[in-house]
Amino acid sequence: MENLKTRVLSAVILAPIFIFLIYLGNVPFLITTLFIMGVGVWEFWRMYSVNEANRSNKYLIIALTLAIICTRYFFGFESASRLLTGCVFIAMLWAVRSYDKHNLHAANGFAVMVTGFVYFGWIGSYLLTLRNLENGFWWVMVCLLIIWLSDSGAFFIGSRFGRHAMSPLVSPKKTWEGYFGGILTAMLTGWLLVRFVPIIAEILNQQQMFILALLLSVIASLGDFGESMIKRTFGFKDSSNLIPGHGGFFDRLDTVLWAMPIGYLVYRMINSGLI
pTM across the whole model: 0.92
Residue 180 CA to residue 74 CA, distance in Å, equals 39
Give SS3 for 137: helix
The angle subtended at Cα 132 by Cα 10 and Cα 194, nearest 5°, is 70
Domain endpoint, select from 132, 158, 187: 132
Shared domain for 107 and 87, answered yes or no, is: yes
pLDDT averaged over 10-residue windows placed end to end, the chain, 275 residues: 68 88 95 97 96 94 98 95 97 96 93 97 96 95 95 90 87 90 95 95 95 94 89 91 83 92 96 87
Does residue 166 share a domain with residue 256? yes
Last residue of one domain, picked from the residues 103, 132, 161: 132
Assess whether 68 and 169 both reside in one domain: no
Do residues 71 and 25 share a domain? yes
Do 206 and 219 have their domain in common?
yes
Instruction: Please tell me the distance from the alpha carbon of residue 256 to that of residue 207, in angstroms, as a whole number.
Output: 23
| 117 touches 65 (CB < 8 A) | yes
Q: Residue 2: its pLDDT value, please?
A: 54
| Number of compact structural domains in the chain | 2
* Rounded distance between C-alpha atoms, residue 119 and residue 69, angstroms: 11
Shared domain for 144 and 268, answered yes or no, is: yes
**Residue 148: enclosing H or E segment and its boundaries?**
helix 136-161
d(CA 119, CA 81): 14
Q: Are residues 101 and 156 in the same domain?
A: no
| 118 lies in the same domain as 184 | no
pLDDT at 172: 84
* Co-location of 8 and 96 in the same domain: yes
Q: Are residues 128 and 144 located together in one domain of the fold?
A: no
Instruction: Please check whether residues 109 and 147 belong to one and the same domain.
Output: no
| Calpha distance 120→126 (Å, rounded) | 10
Domain that holds residue 199: 135-275
Instruction: Say if residue 119 is in the same domain as residue 2.
Output: yes
**Single residue among 116, 132, 148 that ends a domain in this structure:** 132
CB 44 within 8 A of CB 233: no
- DSSP-based three-state secondary structure for 173: strand
Residue 66 near residue 32 (C-beta atoms within 8 A): no
